Structure 1
């Protein structure tokens, strides 16, 4: 069994951990060229070529607050990877960017530039690509979910909280405060 993390981006991070949590593969995938749809198509092909049957996969969810020219690409690539995995019967777990950051650092608002230090401190892992670092944390989350009973004493409280949010998202949602009805409101 392998634990896989995928961070979809123009340079997609891919990490596969062994059943013991050792890094088997850590790679930045780019596809071919810089024009779409060829770049997205070949990038998706690269991603699925690295996935094996039985892999336990974590993929970073969409960043809905992002802005800029690359947003269309990010959503297109993200959905294309998910469709390719679905069509090949690979199941995956969606992990939000905030959950990824919190699992690595204790804060869901950590800047990308601040991620390498806590990742090296927590797991002794480093890589020059922030996409591969994110993929590593995603793979580490999947490893921790599957092995949480054995890791109980080595996981931090914030890591346990992230795992609980991923395993049981309905319980993690906080109830919204009820809005007081104003005169004339139809409810």
Structure 2
């Protein structure tokens, strides 16, 4: 699981077996969030059944903990995340590597970290006034319109 907080990129890892591992990861993620933060979470995407079950458990766990703490979050569809980087919504994770570098000068070998970075850019565009390209403005309009 990757997260970008206040400009700091972190790849979170925890030990243990499920459900202990899932609970530890959810607790670490939510502990990093302040009540006034803007939180963007990638919506659930399709994956292999066993992987989807774990990701769904973690995803719902994070959402429930944020809800319990009164922290709102914004869900960003996978296609919107890819569109914000200038790609088609059905592109592969590898297709994002070059556009992310061209737009922001960022590169990382982990597709999870790259996704977290794009979510951070979406969050920044929601929270601050930043110069956006037309396709990025379209994504922000959709995300904010929910």
Question: TM above 0.5, one fold?
Answer: yes
Runs (4+) of structure 1 moved beyond 4 Å?
A: none
1:7-50: CA deviations, max 9, x gaps? xxxxx110024xxxxx2x101112222x2101100000110121
Contact 1:106 1:158 in 2 (8 A): no
SS at match of 1:36: coil
Alignment match, 1:50: 32
CA distance in 2, matches of 1:142, 1:125: 16
Pairing partner for 2:5 from 16, 22, 27: 16
CA distance in 1, matches of 2:15, 2:34: 22
Pick the structure with greater CA Rg.
1
Contact 1:106 1:159 in 2 (8 A): no
**Matches of residues 66-105 of structure 1 in structure 2 within 5 Å?**
66-105=47-86
Contact 1:28 1:129 in 2 (8 A): no
Contact 2:87 2:96 in 1 (8 A): no
CA distance in 2, matches of 1:32, 1:66: 23
Alignment match, 1:38: 20
Return 5+ residue gaps in structure 1 as ranges: 1-11, 18-22, 170-187
Return 5+ residue gaps in structure 2 as ranges: none
Alignment match, 1:161: 138
Instruction: Calculate the aligned-residue CA RMSD, in Å.
Output: 1.5
CA distance in 2, matches of 1:26, 1:128: 13
TM-score, scaled relative to structure 1: 0.73
